[in-house]
Structure 1
Amino acid sequence: MRDIVKDYLDGLIPRRAFMKRMSQAGFGVAAAASALKSLEPLARAQSGQGARGQAQTSVNSPAGSLTTPFEGTGGELLAEQLRAAGVKFLFLGNGSGLGSLCDALLDRPDMQIILAIHEDHCVSIADGYSKASGKPGFVMFSRVGTPHATANMYNAMKDRSSLIITSDHAESDREGRDGLEDIDDWLETVEQFTKFRWVVREPERIPEWTMKAFKLATTMPGGPTYLRFPRDILYKKKVRAGIYPSGTFNIPMSLRPSPREVEQAARILLEAKSPLLNVGYEVTASGAVASVVQLAELLAIPVTQSTSWGADFPTTHPLFLRSSAWRYPETIDAYLNIGGTMEGSASDGGGRLRGAKIIHACVDAGHLGTAYPVHVALAANIKETATALVDAIKSMATSQRLTQIRESRLAAAEDFTKRMRESAESIARRQFDRVPLTWECLSFEINAALDRDAYIVEEFGTEGPRSLQWFPFAEGEKTKIGRTTGYSLGWGVGASIGVKLARPDNQVVCLQGDGGFLFGQSEALWTMSRYDVPIIVVIFNNRCYNETRARMYAQGGRQSELKKDMLSYLGDPNVDFVSIAGAYNIKGEQVQSREQIKAAMQRAVKATRDGRPYLIDALVERGQSGAEAWYPAYSVAKTRTRRV
């Protein structure tokens, strides 16, 4: 029935054919007629017709569009189009170019400004909101703030986040003169970080271009779009245009894979002796986790996780290999990458895939066969792909054969994952009483203090797996958001604000390294404090960039040989993060032992239940051997010849 309904809504079959196919599928005439009646409003909306089947038109809008006439300033047109798109929060920075929009918002109390004092945080807050809500995030800041925002625009593009990022632009009669806050080509500066970019030069087309930016940002594969509005068109009065309802730019992307390719992939998986399934960010983005779990369980295929901002498979599932993926003893003869990218040697696991038949499925066709050769490529929606593979496999094998395959593999996979987890936990628990804290102990106690359905926003590096293994991420359990696949630091604290705005009735905890926090994230605490955003921020403070050190030492160069790290030590000064939080009227405390973190988490939970954020500065081990506190010292004061 699903295929019949989709074909009807897509306009591929008329009413008569719908009734005929429903009858062939076993539905009675009355049931088919009832279904058709319920679908008719949706069909009319998708075809651009009104309730009586008449094409709807309005002033200054393309013929046949379902728009509502509106007259006002350019800023009012923008606000009205955002309202029609369902925008509740506007993530704004400070700038006089936003004045016309802010004037309009005074008369629209249903739309809430969330102000950030740095443009990069406008983007990270919107990104967290979009990831947690599944809705697009709208951003606007001063035109000259665009360079500040590009780090998190890059992160959003890597994650294909649905963001609409906007700014003002030079007045139409001053553009191109190298004037105040202007350069010749602003769009070129963000080309690599955006899916679409445009300068809106006609005030009556503000709704049209805004609608297009929403459509492109939300159509998978998504990605941030960027619009610039010259100040004079935002302030222009008595502009007449049509406002687009949200349904006119919501494009369903339930693209089904090719039946022929599905059959090939299903046969490979069915005949494989030791297949492996790898999941990526598109699984979460397309709401396909349950479908992928069903696929993995059907043949008891072990599962690995590629780089992703989400947990794309339940981390407590016996088929999930965690970071032990490439220690799995079986020789891999079939590899299904579903929803992730193929990153060459990074995905190859040191040659484990040599000789394996590769299947790659994702909606972003640009990733298929570009970084790694594949035997079968499936360019389609991930949920549709997983469902189609399950159906195809079931059609090719008897239930008895499927049971035999499943039982023969499941016991081995369960035994392996159980042994690996028990071993890791046993080693970690022996060190729980260390001072300073181990990453494992700190994470264990944080998890123990939280609600079962808390949201965890993390921005960890190489130490991440040690921490995250203590949090169960699954349906009905905790939800993971972060780290971005872009890996540009300075995202996590702002993103956690957006997550809490999207999920006010869930606990939200931000897990952040000290190095990442020092990438300009303290300003996000201002927004957190102003809007009473009750988040627990835990800084894993090892006074070091562990990830940088680990990568450099792995190259075996002079730094590794002499145990002298030129860049990574962050002590001297030892930053007082609790005092930084206090400057924004946020309470906090420093801990370094297991008993201290237990008590601190109780106070943090109480503070957030009372409606305020709380920061914990947790001193943790560095985890790297060598001269941990060494750095190439230099004192300007000692070079002076005058005491000035």
Structure 2
Amino acid sequence: MRSLIRQYLDEGLSRRGFIRELGALGVSLASAQTLLASLSDAQADTLSDAGLDESIARIVTGNGSDMIFETFEQAGVKYIFHGCGGGTNRFFDSVLQRPGLKNFLATNEGQAVAMAEGYHIASGGELGVAMIPRPGLMNAGGNIHNAMVNRSSMIVLTAREHNKFSNRRGNIELVEWEDVLDPFMKWGYKMQNFGRVPEFTRRAIKVARTPPGGPVFLQMTENLYQETGEGTILPQNRFHVAGGVRAKPELIEQAARMLIEAENPMLVVGLEVTKSGGQAELIELAELLAIPVMQGLSAFADFPSRHELALGWFTRFSVYMRKSDLMLLIGSQMPDEGHYVLTGPPAENTKICHISLEPEMLAMAWPTDLSIMADARAAIVDLTEAVKSMLTKRRITAIRAARHPVVTEYIQADRARKLKRAKRFWDRTPITYPRLSTELNDLLDDDAIIVSESLFDVAPWFDVGHGRKLQIGPQPGEVLGWATGVALGAKLAQPDRQVVALSGDGAFMFQNALWSLSRYDAPVLIVIYNNKAYNMNWAFNRTGGGAQARAKKDLATYLGNPDVDYVMWAKSHGIDGEGVTDPGKLRAAIKRGIGVVRDGRPYLLDVHAERWGGVGDYTWHPEISIAGMRTRKV
């Protein structure tokens, strides 16, 4: 979908060719025409081109920067997240003159992007805007990558050199930035013509918001700060795509028949379910025929983690998965042996039906029996109706009654087994992940927002999903230094909900938003699972064998010596906190943290946590002293 939209907007694909390509992917003609019309409107140069009445237009006077921010405000943008310098300073003149806009400064550009993404996700889809100076684009690149993997609707705005001085600054103009960032963006454009600034800003917003979403890169040359004139500002809601992309009915019927005929079907769901707003409809489909659901690669709990039909994260080691005769993937990547978490392959002799809005994802790792390009929510709704139309109510009841006890008994036994195993080490020091996560889950509000960064075996201990706590993360993009920035943006979007940022000590040291959390009084509870290691890297390296694993000598991932005092680090930013080493004192510490947050300030808990994956107390590391290499004391 990303490539098709870009080809059309860049005039590499005609209107007829665009519809033909979508039709070949199984998209219904009506959906293809609706999507085409919305993209064509966003691309229009004039009101008449877009089929709009002149009375809805607003003529404004200003420079190029003013045109951008007028268009942003018209699209409902309220917040700008940004770094500092690098030619973007004059953008703030436009921000200052618009009291409806609030700006949030980050001390690292990656955190500005994370804040914008957190705001977008927690708000339910509002546009995130990150304003990044050119020298900071590479700092921001990691979290732009995370946003692309999460399909988050964002604008990344920067200023380019004045046309008069183009390609004369070898230090930061060695590359075309749109080419460098292209893999992480849905689309990008460098604005050099004053008259087209509103058009391309409008188009950038349109493309960013078009499902499944993603970041768009927008550049303006600095000479447009000086150039002034009139611009036409149009209501952004007139360019909204109405409805999801639907598949051809015959393909939906084929998928429904596969579900009906399967003895042991299962669903594997991913982020497109949440992005499309299809969580409630997914629950209805699963409950209709008592189909168990596995969580695929996603930053969300696309199916409630404590639902009686929830099998948990997909794993090839699941007994139920191995006996499944149909795997229906909805809005998820294909299980693949290349993933750490969504490990493949599927069970042998299992039929596979794959539904995704992104044709590039369909059948990526394994051949399918049926691939369908469609919006996840639309496909779920159509699939549910198809099943109901093909079976009598009595037959549906019979299928559900036969399967339900088998599935739920297996799931209940599996959960009980995992809890029993965790309880064996409940009072162990260092504190176990299940103990810390369970205590947090029990004490947090039912509608809390949990931002979790690259923490293995943490999400299963939280009650998250539709109607429960909101899970954001772990980030499938895997770039670290994400959680605290996302948490600030989430709190801004949902000030009346608890927000908790969970991070390993390794991820926290990559980059964090402590300074911004303190400056903007963002009441967020930060919990560091501190095991003095890049635990996941070492654990997976150990399972693969090799010289380090055999010798129990870690060259790259031990983070002790020095032992970082994260509480002192937080206090240097005006944020209170405490360290926790005793599991018996954990609950009281969490309560104190929640109390401080309720009073309106952030709080940090540095929890001495276990190393998992057989890592144990392997603390060896190379003893290297640069001071010892000296031949004289200088």
Q: Which residue of 1 aligns with 2:357?
A: 363
TM-fit CA distance, 1:372: 2.2
Matched, 1:340 2:315: no
After TM superposition, the structure 1 = structure 2 runs for residues 85-124 of structure 1, keeping only pairs within 5 Å, are 85-95=75-85, 97-124=87-114
Q: Which residue of 2 aligns with 1:538?
A: 527
Per-residue displacement from partner, 1:133-153 (whole Å, max 9, x unpaired)?
111101112112111111111
TM-fit CA distance, 1:350: 5.2
Task: Kindly indicate whether the alpha-carbon contact (under 8 Å) linking 2:39 and 2:206 is maintained by their aligned counterparts in 1.
Answer: no
Query: Partners of 1:106 and 1:398 in 2: how far apart?
Result: 63
Structure-2 change in CA distance of 1:267 and 1:62 (3 Å): closer
* 1:587 maps to amino acid: D
Per-residue displacement from partner, 1:443-480 (whole Å, max 9, x unpaired)?
1211222111100000034xx22x22221113332110
Q: Which residue of 2 aligns with 1:615?
A: 604
Q: Which residue of 2 aligns with 1:158?
A: 149
Task: Kindly indicate whether the alpha-carbon contact (under 8 Å) linking 1:457 and 1:510 is maintained by their aligned counterparts in 2.
Answer: yes
Structure-2 change in CA distance of 1:324 and 1:414 (3 Å): farther
**TM-score under structure 1 normalisation?**
0.88
Q: Which residue of 2 aligns with 1:560?
A: 549
Q: Which residue of 1 aligns with 2:119?
A: 129
After TM superposition, the structure 1 = structure 2 runs for residues 9-28 of structure 1, keeping only pairs within 5 Å, are none
Matched, 1:170 2:161: yes
**2:415 aligns with one of 418, 421, 434:** 421
Matched, 1:212 2:203: yes
Task: Kindly indicate whether the alpha-carbon contact (under 8 Å) linking 2:454 and 2:475 is maintained by their aligned counterparts in 1.
Answer: no
Per-residue displacement from partner, 1:560-592 (whole Å, max 9, x unpaired)?
111112111100000010111011100011001
Q: Which residue of 1 aligns with 2:372?
A: 378
TM-fit CA distance, 1:205: 1.6
Per-residue displacement from partner, 1:222-278 (whole Å, max 9, x unpaired)?
1110011111202323x2111121113322341111101011111111000111110
After TM superposition, the structure 1 = structure 2 runs for residues 413-562 of structure 1, keeping only pairs within 5 Å, are 413-461=407-455, 464-465=456-457, 467-521=458-512, 524-562=513-551
**1:203 aligns with one of 151, 176, 194:** 194
After TM superposition, the structure 1 = structure 2 runs for residues 239-388 of structure 1, keeping only pairs within 5 Å, are 239-323=229-313, 326-329=317-320, 331-345=323-337, 351-388=345-382
Task: Kindly indicate whether the alpha-carbon contact (under 8 Å) linking 1:60 and 1:204 is maintained by their aligned counterparts in 2.
Answer: no
Task: Kindly indicate whether the alpha-carbon contact (under 8 Å) linking 1:208 and 1:244 is maintained by their aligned counterparts in 2.
Answer: no
Q: Which residue of 1 aligns with 2:14?
A: none
Larger displacement relative to structure 2 (439-448 or 343-352): 343-352
TM-fit CA distance, 1:67: 3.0
Structure-2 change in CA distance of 1:262 and 1:393 (3 Å): same
Task: Kindly indicate whether the alpha-carbon contact (under 8 Å) linking 2:454 and 2:478 is maintained by their aligned counterparts in 1.
Answer: no
SS of alignment partner, residue 436 of structure 1: coil
TM-fit CA distance, 1:70: 1.0
Task: Kindly indicate whether the alpha-carbon contact (under 8 Å) linking 1:78 and 1:101 is maintained by their aligned counterparts in 2.
Answer: no
Q: Which residue of 1 aligns with 2:65?
A: 75
Structure-2 change in CA distance of 1:423 and 1:324 (3 Å): farther
TM-fit CA distance, 1:611: 0.8
SS of alignment partner, residue 322 of structure 1: strand
- Would you say how many aligned residue pairs link Structure 1 and Structure 2? 590
Task: Kindly indicate whether the alpha-carbon contact (under 8 Å) linking 2:296 and 2:313 is maintained by their aligned counterparts in 1.
Answer: no
Task: Kindly indicate whether the alpha-carbon contact (under 8 Å) linking 1:58 and 1:242 is maintained by their aligned counterparts in 2.
Answer: no
Task: Kindly indicate whether the alpha-carbon contact (under 8 Å) linking 2:451 and 2:502 is maintained by their aligned counterparts in 1.
Answer: yes
Query: Partners of 2:195 and 2:90 in 1: how far apart?
Result: 15
Task: Kindly indicate whether the alpha-carbon contact (under 8 Å) linking 1:59 and 1:240 is maintained by their aligned counterparts in 2.
Answer: no
Matched, 1:229 2:220: yes
Task: Kindly indicate whether the alpha-carbon contact (under 8 Å) linking 1:92 and 1:115 is maintained by their aligned counterparts in 2.
Answer: yes
* 1:321 maps to amino acid: L
Structure-2 change in CA distance of 1:250 and 1:199 (3 Å): same
TM-fit CA distance, 1:204: 2.2
Task: Kindly indicate whether the alpha-carbon contact (under 8 Å) linking 1:332 and 1:352 is maintained by their aligned counterparts in 2.
Answer: no
Query: Partners of 2:77 and 2:273 in 1: how far apart?
Result: 25
**TM-score under structure 2 normalisation?**
0.89
Larger radius of gyration: 1
Query: Partners of 2:566 and 2:208 in 1: how far apart?
Result: 36
Q: Which residue of 2 aligns with 1:587?
A: 576
Query: Partners of 1:96 and 1:140 in 2: how far apart?
Result: 11
SS of alignment partner, residue 504 of structure 1: coil
Task: Kindly indicate whether the alpha-carbon contact (under 8 Å) linking 2:38 and 2:239 is maintained by their aligned counterparts in 1.
Answer: no
* 2:85 maps to amino acid: G
SS of alignment partner, residue 87 of structure 2: helix
Structure-2 change in CA distance of 1:604 and 1:543 (3 Å): same
* 1:344 maps to amino acid: D
Query: Partners of 1:626 and 1:617 in 2: how far apart?
Result: 19
Structure-2 change in CA distance of 1:263 and 1:583 (3 Å): same
Structure-2 change in CA distance of 1:636 and 1:600 (3 Å): same
**1:398 aligns with one of 392, 399, 404:** 392
Structure-2 change in CA distance of 1:539 and 1:263 (3 Å): same
TM-fit CA distance, 1:626: 5.7
Q: Which runs of 5+ in 2 are unaligned?
A: 1-33
Query: Partners of 1:355 and 1:61 in 2: how far apart?
Result: 51
SS of alignment partner, residue 173 of structure 1: helix
Task: Kindly indicate whether the alpha-carbon contact (under 8 Å) linking 1:100 and 1:235 is maintained by their aligned counterparts in 2.
Answer: no
Query: Partners of 2:337 and 2:38 in 1: how far apart?
Result: 44
Structure-2 change in CA distance of 1:402 and 1:494 (3 Å): same
Percentage of pairs with the same residue: 38
* 2:552 maps to amino acid: K
Per-residue displacement from partner, 1:57-97 (whole Å, max 9, x unpaired)?
66999986753211112222122111101001111111162
Query: Partners of 1:176 and 1:324 in 2: how far apart?
Result: 49
Task: Kindly indicate whether the alpha-carbon contact (under 8 Å) linking 2:212 and 2:275 is maintained by their aligned counterparts in 1.
Answer: no
TM-fit CA distance, 1:505: 0.5
